[in-house]
Amino acid sequence: MDLDAYSSASSRPPLRSSVKRRVRIREIYYIELTEVEARNGLLRVGCEAGTYIRKLCHDIGEVLGCGAHMRELRRTRTGPFKEDTITNLYDLVDAYHFWKEDGDESFLRKIIQPMENALEHIPKIFIRDSAVDSICHGANLTAPGIVKLESEIKAGDLVSIFTLKNEAVALGIAKMSSQEMYASNHGVAVEINRVLMEPGTYPPMWKKHDRREEAEE
């Protein structure tokens, strides 16, 4: 069997599963056979979120004609975070006590990362300061509020909204492609589904704009 040819797989959740058992397509980026001992094999798999590795092992066994099941699973990476950058809860508790009792925050600063680090793999859209607070209050992002963005965004993609200071504001679903966002001067560009920044962090410029429109009327 050519593992390199296994680029995507139909994945149905196992019988014992907390989600609805329906077939879903998940991309398999790579499968490496790193060790073989008797009838046991060690695989390294890079895959899209939501892949059921137990089901993947079962499918590989069916293709090989010998049967297979997963004996043990170890997650070594999720998004931009790798195994060598994680921290256990014991270290976190120790760092908290150093800060609480001695005022030493250096250990906490090594452990706690800004949430922006978790969004590195998600396409970014940077917005005007005047648009930030309205989004923090639940408004969708319209095309005039965009200053710059990453290319290759397609309608339907998950995107992250950032200030010009590289602060995370929200997550949403793109309603336009990158090209359409550049070309448009009106319309909803991103439908916001998760606000990350506290309202009031930036001044409410949108209220001033609304009052100005009322005065003009």
The model's pLDDT over 66-118, given as tens digits with 9 standing for 90+, comes to 899 999 999 888 888 888 888 889 999 999 999 999 999 999 998 888 999 99
Task: Indicate whether 29 and 9 sit together in one domain.
Answer: yes
Task: Indicate whether 123 and 185 sit together in one domain.
Answer: yes
Q: Which pLDDT score is estimated for 86?
A: 82
Q: Which pLDDT score is estimated for 211?
A: 46
Task: Indicate whether 99 and 120 sit together in one domain.
Answer: no
Q: Which pLDDT score is estimated for 87?
A: 86
CB 159 within 8 A of CB 122: yes
Task: Indicate whether 123 and 181 sit together in one domain.
Answer: yes
d(CA 171, CA 164): 16
Q: Which residue segment(s) compose the domain that 50 sits in? A: 3-74
Q: Which pLDDT score is estimated for 13?
A: 55
Domain finish residue from 48, 74, 100? 74
DSSP 85-135: G---HHHHHHHHHHHHHH---HHHHHH---GGGGGTTS-EEEE-HHHHHHH
Q: CA-CA-CA-CA torsion for 91, 92, 97, 103, nearest 10 degrees? A: 110
Task: Indicate whether 105 and 152 sit together in one domain.
Answer: no
Q: Which pLDDT score is estimated for 88?
A: 87
> Which pair of structure tokens corresponds to residue 82?
């790798």
Low-confidence ranges of the chain (pLDDT < 50): 1-2, 211-217
> Which pair of structure tokens corresponds to residue 61?
């066994």
Task: Indicate whether 98 and 125 sit together in one domain.
Answer: no
Task: Indicate whether 27 and 12 sit together in one domain.
Answer: yes
How many domains does one find in the chain? 3
